[in-house]
């Protein structure tokens, strides 16, 4: 065999070896990258078809994708299933993720389970609600007092000396319900003395309708009703419409489901004080990823809120808030 042929064969063999080494290096890098992906579990108050929790999950999924994290979203079918959510927390702890983003169903009953997350050495970020004691490395939520205050301040203009006001809340004792009620009353100012009663629907739309009918039977002169979340606001509006009283009762609500937007357009609601659930989900997961990777994060993050009326709902900025997905 000539010297030239031998050199060519050696060169070819060398190139093949280098190619194989490059492939192995790429595979190793890919496996290392996959191994380094941050595992996040998002436990919502509910995993249902409401626009609010759907938007929260979508925001979280976008954050996970943009920050090279793997996200699992879980939650009970309904918000009042606090015991089931607590069981899910234990399941999540057993999976040993890098971080858990938790929207606590109860500021009191969920607290011992939040403590177990921390004791397991798992990064905890609270979402939407806080606890009765300090927990987690960060809390991403709407400023619920400010949210209620915006609604109360706006609705005050419709209050007359003889106005009777009813409030339909969601989960009694929850930090969101307490904050929004307090903010709404503060926004009303002196007119808060005209609040006749607050009832709680346990975040069940049908129950909110039933309670609203009960309020109107008990207080026939009631001419203002507000709902403190999507379930309560939608249920109250449905009851008022069924009774044919939409032109006699001033209404407002919190959140921005498609049905609520349609009710605002139709003039059933005077205003909607809206949260930014997509933003909340995004910030919650982003904060969890950063904290799990050892980065410093803020203790309290306000995900924002806006007051939407029929007059300003068609602005470009508010349209993006009302229909965030796909923007």
CA distance to 24, 98, 149, 303, 312, per residue, from 39 (Å):
26, 5, 37, 23, 40
Whether residue 79 contacts residue 171, with contact meaning beta carbons closer than 8 Å, is answered with yes
Q: Please identify which residue in the block is written with the tokens 């659930």.
A: 277
pLDDT at residue number 20 = 57
Would the CA dihedral through 262, 167, 284, 315 be positive or negative?
Answer: positive
pLDDT at residue number 149 = 98
pLDDT at residue number 323 = 85
pLDDT at residue number 32 = 44
Contact residues for 213 (Cβ-Cβ < 8 A; gap 6+): 239, 243
pLDDT at residue number 173 = 86
Q: Which helix (DSSP H) or strand (DSSP E) does residue 59 occupy?
A: helix 51-66
| Domains of the chain, CATH where assigned | 38-142+277-302 (3.40.50.2300), 144-275 (3.40.50.2300)
Per-residue pLDDT of the chain (327 residues; tens, 9 = 90+): 555 555 556 555 555 656 556 554 555 454 444 447 999 999 999 998 888 999 999 999 999 999 999 999 999 999 889 999 999 999 999 999 999 999 999 989 999 999 999 999 999 999 999 988 999 999 999 999 999 999 999 999 999 999 999 999 999 988 899 999 999 999 999 999 999 999 999 999 999 999 999 999 999 999 999 999 999 999 999 999 999 999 999 999 999 999 999 999 999 999 999 999 999 999 999 999 999 999 999 999 999 999 999 999 999 989 988 887 544
pLDDT at residue number 326 = 46
CA distance to 43, 83, 116, 219, 234, per residue, from 90 (Å):
11, 11, 8, 45, 33
Whether residue 226 contacts residue 253, with contact meaning beta carbons closer than 8 Å, is answered with yes
Contact residues for 58 (Cβ-Cβ < 8 A; gap 6+): 278, 281, 325
pLDDT at residue number 26 = 55
pLDDT at residue number 35 = 47
Contact residues for 273 (Cβ-Cβ < 8 A; gap 6+): 147, 148, 150, 151, 154, 252, 253, 254, 305, 306, 307, 308
Whether residue 261 contacts residue 237, with contact meaning beta carbons closer than 8 Å, is answered with no
């Amino acid at each position: 065999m000539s010297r030239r042929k031998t050199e060519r064969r050696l060169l070819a063999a060398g190139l093949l070896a280098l190619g194989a080494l490059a492939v192995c290096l790429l595979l190793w890098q890919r496996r290392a990258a996959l191994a380094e992906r941050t595992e996040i579990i998002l436990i919502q108050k509910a995993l249902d078809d409401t626009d609010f929790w759907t938007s929260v999950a979508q925001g979280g999924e976008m954050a996970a994708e943009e920050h090279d994290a793997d996200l699992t979203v879980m939650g009970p079918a309904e918000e009042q299933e606090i015991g089931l959510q607590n069981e899910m927390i234990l399941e999540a702890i057993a999976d040993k993720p890098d971080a858990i983003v938790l929207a606590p169903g109860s500021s009191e009953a969920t607290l011992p389970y939040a403590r177990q997350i921390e004791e397991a050495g798992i990064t905890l970020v609270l979402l939407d609600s806080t606890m009765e004691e300090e927990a987690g490395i960060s809390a991403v939520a709407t400023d619920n007092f400010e949210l209620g205050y915006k609604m109360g301040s706006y609705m005050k203009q419709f209050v007359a000396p003889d106005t009777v006001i009813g409030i339909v809340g969601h989960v009694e004792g929850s930090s969101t319900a307490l904050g929004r009620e307090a903010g709404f009353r503060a926004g009303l100012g002196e007119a808060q003395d005209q609040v006749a009663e607050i009832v709680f629907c346990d975040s069940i739309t049908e129950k909110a309708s039933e309670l609203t009918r009960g309020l109107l039977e008990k207080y026939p002169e009631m001419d203002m009703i507000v709902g403190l979340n999507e379930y309560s606001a939608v249920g109250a509006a449905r009851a008022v419409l069924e009774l044919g009283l939409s032109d006699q009762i001033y209404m407002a609500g919190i959140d921005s489901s498609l049905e609520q937007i349609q009710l605002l357009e139709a003039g059933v609601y005077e205003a909607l004080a809206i949260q930014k659930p997509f933003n909340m989900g995004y910030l919650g997961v982003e904060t969890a990823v950063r904290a799990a990777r050892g980065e410093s994060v803020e203790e309290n993050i306000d995900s924002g809120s806006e007051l939407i009326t029929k007059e300003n709902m068609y602005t470009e900025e508010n349209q993006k808030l009302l229909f965030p997905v796909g923007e």
